[in-house]
Amino acid sequence: MAELQPIMPSTDPASGTVVVPNHETPEPVPITDQEVGEYREQDRFLPIANVSRIMKGSVPPTAKIAKDAKECVQECVSEFISFITSEAAEKCQLEKRKTIGGEDILNAMSALGFDNYAETLKIHLAKLRQNGTSAAVAATQQDQPLQEQQLEDEYAAFEQSTI
């Protein structure tokens, strides 16, 4: 068996002084712009399970939906939401407001040429506001999955009304 040699501090040959090793933690590798972009890209997508559930509600029960179709719709829907939200946020910023409201979304949709959808959503927004108090109380009593299911059901109803 090989003998273990003691660790001797290294010396600087020019000065003869002992060189103390630096035991500081190394600097973390900086994150590149590409990595940040990829992370944010993934963060801005709606969950694929929610997209899939909504898609399944729009086709016959025997129909199958390919994975790439779900991913494509996930990306398109997320981009659409970002597009509308960006327009609404711009208007709020010009008006020096920090909160985007339902009316802002409807105005953004109209400004971007989605008038037919905006009209339908106005009706849903009015119903939502009408039921707002009872919905707020119910939301505190419901579990999160039930709230998600309710939103998905409302979206499916909206989708059917626009077809």
Would you say 162 and 123 are in contact if contact means Cβ atoms under 8 Å apart? no
Supply 134's token pair: 């009872």
CATH number belonging to domain 42-162: 1.10.20.10
Domains of the chain: which residue ranges? Answer: 42-162
pLDDT of 98: 92
Name the helix (H) or strand (E) containing 87.
helix 67-94
pLDDT of 12: 67
pLDDT of 104: 94
Would you say 126 and 143 are in contact if contact means Cβ atoms under 8 Å apart? no
pLDDT of 42: 62
**18: three-class secondary structure by DSSP:** strand
* CA-to-CA dists, residue 83 to 34, 46, 50, 76, angstroms: 22, 14, 20, 10
Mean pLDDT by 10 residues, the chain (163 residues): 60 66 60 64 81 93 94 93 94 93 93 91 88 64 61 66 56
